[in-house]
Amino acid sequence: MNRNVVLGAFFASYACTLHASANPLDAFGLGSRAAGMGSAVAADTSGFDANYYNPAGLARARGLEISIGYFRASQYLKTNGHDNDVDPVKGLVGGLVAPGTLLGVPFAFGLAIHLPDDRISRVRALRQEVPRWEMYDNRNQRLFLAANLAVSPVKWLQLGGGFSFMSSTEGKLDIGGFLNIFRAEDSQLRHQVDADLTAVRYPQLGARVELSEAVALAVVYRGEFKLKLDLSAYLHGDISHLTTAIYALDTHSVNNFLPQQLVVAGSWKLSDDLHTNLDVTWVNWGAYVPPVASLNVGLDIPPPAGGWPNGITPPTAPAPAKIEALKMNDRVVPHVGVEWRALARPTWEGFARAGYEYAKSPIGAQTGVTNYIDRDRHSMSLGLGLRALAPIAELPGDVRLDAHAQLSELVTATTRKADPADLVGDFTAGGHIWNVGATLTVGFP
C-alpha cells in the first residue's frame, strides 16, 4: 500500500490552501499608455485598454484601431534577505476597437487579451504554514480576455459593458490494478488523468460624463469572480490477492478570487497639451473567500480471511487538517496620472507621462500559523509616446508607439509571531517589481 498512500498524500496536500488571485491587469495595467499613467485612465480612455479600465470609453474611438504589445514584470521579492524566486509575469497584450453607428447612435465593439508566453493558467498548492507572496506569486499567471460594447446616446455621455473571462481548473486521477506488497516489482498499475480548463465570466459596466470640454467624470463596476479548483482521485485494486483496497478523495476550493470593484474617476484638461487624471478604486476584499479546500476522504481496506500477516498494518484515512481563516480588509486604492503633449508637429506628436499608485495590503497580521506574505506597495511609473499622423498614403490614419517603465516598491517590514515556538518564526519581507513594456497601435479613419 505504500505507493497508494504516497499518491493519496499528494492529492491530500491540496486540502491545505491555494492562492488568492486576481487578473494580471489589476497589478500591472493593460497597455503602455495606461501603465505609464499609473492606470489612472478610467475617464480618459478610448483605445483597446478601455476593455479593462472603462468599457464606455470605446464609444469615443474615431476609427478602427488594432493594438499589440508586450510587457514583463520582474519580481524581486525577499524574505530574511533571500530572494524567493517569484516568477515574472510576462506576455503579449492586444486588442481592437471597432466603432460605427447603430440606428444613428455612435456604437463600438471592443476586444482585449493578455496572453502569457509560458502558461495560460497555473495551479500551485502549498500548505498554509509555508510562507508565500500571496498577492504576487500565483495570482497573475492567468490568461485574460474581455469583450465589450459601448454606445454614446448623446455627445456628453458614453455607456458600456461586457464580460471578462478567466480560466479555472478541474482534474481527475484514476488508478487501478494489482499491488504486490511482498514484491513491489511485480505490481501492475494503470492510471488515467483528466484535466479541464473552463472559462469563468464576470461582468463589468462603465459610464463616462463630459461636464465640459476640460472635465470628464467616470464610474466603473467590475464584478466578483471565483476560479474553482476541483480535484478528485480514485485508487482501487487487488493487494497481493489478500484483499481489495479503495481510496477516494475529493477536494473543492477557490483557486483564485477577485472581489468586486468600484472605480470613481476624473480627468481634467489643464491646457491643450496637459491633463491629469485621478482614479479611486474600492476593492471589496472583505468578501474574500479564503483559499482553502474542503476535503472528503474515503478508505476501505477489509482485512483478509484470517487477518493481516505479521508485520503488515493497513493505513487509515488521514485526519482532516485544521484550516486557519485568513482575514482580509476592504481597501481604497488611489491612482494619479499625468500626460503632457511635449511636441506637436503637423505629421507627428510626442508625449511624456507619469503616474503613481498606492495599494495598502488587505491581508491581516500573520501572527498565527498562516504565512500569507504581503506588503504595502508604492508604484511609480513613467511613459513615452510617439504618434505619426498619416505616415504613408496607404495608411491615412495614425500609428502610435507607447512605452512604459514602472517600479513598485513593497515596503520592508517584519512579521512577529505570537507563539515563540512557531515553526516558521519571525520573518522580514519586502522587495520591488520592475514592469516594462511597449504597445503599438494602428488606427484607421
Q: How far is CA 413 from the centre of its chain?
A: 24
Predicted pLDDT at 313 = 73
Q: Cβ(378)–Cβ(358) under 8 Å? A: yes
Q: Closest Cα to residue 220, out of 275, 276, 282, 165?
A: 282
Return per-residue pLDDT of the chain as tens, 445 residues.
Answer: 333 333 333 333 333 333 333 568 888 999 999 999 999 999 999 999 999 999 999 999 989 999 999 999 999 999 999 999 888 999 999 999 999 998 889 999 999 999 888 766 556 656 677 788 888 876 666 778 899 999 999 999 999 999 887 655 555 555 555 555 556 556 565 655 555 556 678 899 999 999 999 999 999 999 987 776 666 777 776 666 667 777 776 666 666 677 899 999 999 999 999 999 999 999 998 887 766 666 677 777 787 777 777 777 777 776 666 777 778 899 999 999 999 999 999 999 999 999 999 999 999 888 888 888 999 999 999 999 999 998 887 778 899 999 999 999 999 999 999 988 888 889 999 999 999 999 999 999 8
- Cell numbers describing residue 340: 503632457
Task: State how far the Cα of 102 lies from the Cα of 105, in Å rounded to an integer.
Answer: 5
- Cell numbers describing residue 185: 516489482
Predicted pLDDT at 259 = 85
Task: State how far the Cα of 52 lies from the Cα of 205, in Å rounded to an integer.
Answer: 10
Predicted pLDDT at 198 = 62
Q: Closest Cα to residue 431, out of 170, 52, 59, 84?
A: 84
Q: Closest Cα to residue 100, out of 50, 64, 51?
A: 64
Q: Cβ(323)–Cβ(254) under 8 Å? A: no
Task: State how far the Cα of 37 lies from the Cα of 354, in Å rounded to an integer.
Answer: 5
Cα dihedral 14/169/83/357 (nearest 10): -120
Q: Cβ(163)–Cβ(202) under 8 Å? A: yes
- Cell numbers describing residue 289: 473567500
- Cell numbers describing residue 13: 496536500
Task: State how far the Cα of 139 lies from the Cα of 19, in Å rounded to an integer.
Answer: 7
Look up cell 501572527; give the residue: 367
Predicted pLDDT at 6 = 33
Look up cell 487487488; give the residue: 238
Predicted pLDDT at 9 = 34
Residues 6+ apart with CB under 8 A from 310: none
Residues 6+ apart with CB under 8 A from 39: 29, 53, 279, 335, 337, 355, 357
SS3 assignment for the chain: CHHHHHHHHHHHHHHCCECCCCCHHHHHCCCHHHHHCCCCCCCCCCCCCHHHHCHHHHHHCCCCEEEEEEEEEEEEEEECCEECCCCCEEEEEEEEEEEEEECCEEEEEEEEEEEECCCCECCCECCCCCCEECCCCCCCCECEEEEEEEEEEECCEEEEEEEEEEEEEEEEEEEEEEECCCCHHHCEEEEEEEEEEEEEEEEEEEEEEECCCCEEEEEEEECCEEEEEEEEEEEEEEECCCEEEEEEEEEEEEEEEECCEEEEEEEEECCCCEEEEEEEEEECHHHCCCCCEEEEEEEECCCCCCCCCCCCCCCCCCCCCCCCCCCECCEEEEEEEEEEEEEECCCEEEEEEEEEEEECCCECCCCCCCCEECCCEEEEEEEEEEEEECCECCECCEEEEEEEEEEEEEEEEEECCCCCCCCCCCEEEEEEEEEEEEEEEEECC
Amino acid type, 208: R
Residues 6+ apart with CB under 8 A from 391: 347, 398, 399
Task: State how far the Cα of 234 lies from the Cα of 240, in Å rounded to an integer.
Answer: 19
Predicted pLDDT at 8 = 38
Q: Cβ(153)–Cβ(105) under 8 Å? A: yes
